[in-house]
Amino acid sequence: MKAKISTHKNQTVSKIDPRIYGSFIEHLGRAVYEGIYEPGHPTANEQGFRQDVIDVITELNVPLVRYPGGNFVSGFKWEDSIGPREERPKRLELAWKSIETNEVGLHEFMEWSRESNTEVNMAVNLGTRGIDAARNLLEYCNHPGGTYWSDLRKENGDEAPFNIKTWCLGNEMDGPWQIGAKTADEYGRLAEETAKVMKLVDDSIEVVVCGSSSSKMPTFGEWEYTVLDHSYESVDFLSLHLYWENFENDLPNYLAKSVEMDRFIKDVAAICDSVKAKKGSDKQINLSFDEWNVWYHSKDADAKREPWDIAPPLLEDIYNFEDALLVGCGLITLLNNADRVKIACLAQLVNVIAPIMTVKDGEVWKQPTFYPFMQASNFGRGKVLSAMNEGPTYDSVEFKDVPYLESTVIHNEENNEVVIFAVNRSEDSSLTINTVLEGFENLSIIEATELADYDPKLTTQEKHDAMELKKNDRIEVDGITVSGQLKPLSWNMIRLA
Ligand code: AHR
């Protein structure tokens, strides 16, 4: 099969906001305890954070981590997580039916984020709490000093404000499972007032208002419109969440699921713009895809568990090669929509539906999904070019005209690099690509790599090095034309200068 990609240096979709490579750590399962935090582990630092985990996270170059939830945040009392550790209360954590010890709290997490070279995307509880708790938390985190909450932060060990810039106004407030779920009118009004008051405390922050928890929710569309109708002028981003499953074990259909992500983004952007038009506003609401990933492998096991333990192994999806290919398609889709998607958080980062797994007292290991994310996050910086793809397509059970080739072209002006990310969705045919990069001159290959030749069901659980990025020496460059072969079922990166 053959496919053609054509673009021009001056045809820009958008500059990429680095926050598109964000991730997520929730107080859920073994994400925090036994994940990033394990005092007594041979690599633990003075605060009890595992240095081996920090090192692997650093390889992913994650610029933003959403925290502390997720469903967890909707029942969370943030004041429980500050002050002397021995005085912090243990609480029943209702979202995941666990016990939260609060051993890792706000200051510890901020310290971890500094060590991990990442910013925090902080969520406030709009389930059981409201405006007052949110503005107090913000004052505690960002106000320099001289007030009750900011001085308490200093007393608790952090003289300098945390200066957290990105804030989520609750989590999945449309979901009946959410603690303190709300109607769109109830939530829209609360989000508007909370955003307004938080910006009185610190007008440099940006806030994310909750969109639907999936495009399959019965209130999808209406929810976004109503919430924004109430809050448009006070908020900056609208959130989207999407999790993929392959219970049917239908690979062509599974790999096509990034098509629904693309559609979801475009639909939500259209709703934002319709509210903008109705209001005659000059402001554009951008999108925060603050939860996206594959999540289904662990669901049966989790349904059988007994409640009320500390850091139970929950949502520990063991990913395989086909999941890595779909995550690759997801990354390409987010990049091709970089004009509207400014924040995205791979949900999540460690142990809980995560690219990184840990063994208690033992090693840290990388899931197959680690590799496409690592390459995109490190090399997919700069701006996305608008490219035309011409090539064969297929129909699957749910999707029509799915291109075998999913690709994006990125121009990193700072490093003078052009980077192509591509997935070949075909199970049995190679794709011979011909890419014409108009406006560039005398390009040459820096590196071409592939994740290929693996059984779709292969995992890295038993043999942690069972999968690796390999050199693709079938790629050739002639001036501005890049050609070569992409193997069946492959994730590819081609870097040119
Ligand atoms: O990421 C796991 C959970 O998925 C989050 O807590 C919630 O927001 C979503 O339903």
- The tens digit of pLDDT for each residue in 218-236 reads 999 999 999 999 999 999 9
pLDDT for 126 equals 98
In the chain the first and final C-alpha atoms are separated, in Å, by 27
Question: Which of 139, 172, 206, 406 is an active site residue?
Answer: 172
Q: In sequence order, what are the residues at sequence separation of 6 or more whose Cβ sits closer than 8 angstroms to the Cβ of residue 388?
A: 4, 5, 6, 7
Interval between CA 72 and ligand 1 midpoint (Å):
8
- Gap from CA of 294 to ligand 1 centroid (Å): 12
The protein residue whose alpha carbon is closest to atom 5 in ligand 1 is 70
C-alpha 64 to ligand 1 mean position (Å)? 17
Closest-lying ligand 1 atom to the alpha carbon of residue 96 = 6
Query: Per residue in 85-104, pLDDT tens?
Result: 999 999 999 999 999 999 99
> Which burial class, exposed, middle or buried, applies to 62 when counting CB atoms under 10 A from its CB (0-12, 13-18, 19+)?
buried
- Residue 135's pLDDT is 98
Please give the Cα distance from 197 to 203 (Å, whole number): 10
Reply yes or no on whether 186 is catalytic.
Answer: no
Q: Shortest CA distance to 207 belongs to which of 227, 229, 237, 170? A: 237
Which ligand 1 atom is at minimum distance from the Cα of 353? 1
For atom 3 of ligand 1, which residue has the closest CA?
Answer: 70
**What letter represents residue 140's amino acid?**
Y
Distance 364 CA to ligand 1 centre (A): 23
Q: Which of 224, 291, 316, 450 is catalytic?
A: 291
Shortest-distance atom of ligand 1 to CA 291:
1
ipTM of model over 0.95: yes
Ligand 1: residues with CB < 6 A are 26, 69-71, 171-172, 213, 291, 347-348
CB distance 339 to 14 below 8 Å = yes
Q: What SS3 state is found at 212? A: coil
pLDDT at position 236 is: 98
Mutation to probe ligand 1, out of 74, 213, 291 (largest number of atoms < 8 A from CB)? 291
Q: Whose CA is nearest to atom 8 of ligand 1?
A: 70
Mean pLDDT computed over every residue of the chain: 98
Nearest CA to ligand 1 atom 7: 70
Nearest to 169 by CA among 230, 111, 221, 91: 230
Tokens representing 268 are 């939500």
For the chain, helix, strand, coil in percent to 5 are 30, 25, 45
Tell me the best of 100, 172, 316 to mutate to test the pocket of ligand 1, counting ligand atoms within 8 Å of each CB and taking the most: 172
Element containing residue 261 per DSSP (H, E) = helix 258-279
Active site residue 172: yes
Instruction: Report the separation in Å between the CA atom of 404 and the middle of ligand 1, taken as the mean of its atom positions.
Output: 31
Residue bearing the CA closest to ligand 1, atom 9: 70
Other Cβ atoms less than 10 A from the Cβ of 320: the count is 23
**Closest-lying ligand 1 atom to the alpha carbon of residue 72:** 6
Q: Give all domains of the chain, ordered by start, each with its CATH number.
A: 2-9+386-496 (2.60.40.1180), 17-379 (3.20.20.80)
C-alpha of residue 236 to centroid of ligand 1, in Å: 22
According to the model, what pLDDT value does residue 331 have? Answer: 98
Distance of CA 50 to the CA centre of its chain: 22
Q: Which residues of the chain have pLDDT under 50?
A: none
Q: Given the CA of residue 69, which atom of ligand 1 is nearest to it?
A: 6
* 450 neighbors 491 (Cβ within 8 angstroms): yes
C-beta separation of 346 from 292 below 8 A: yes
- 288 Cα–ligand 1 center, Å: 15
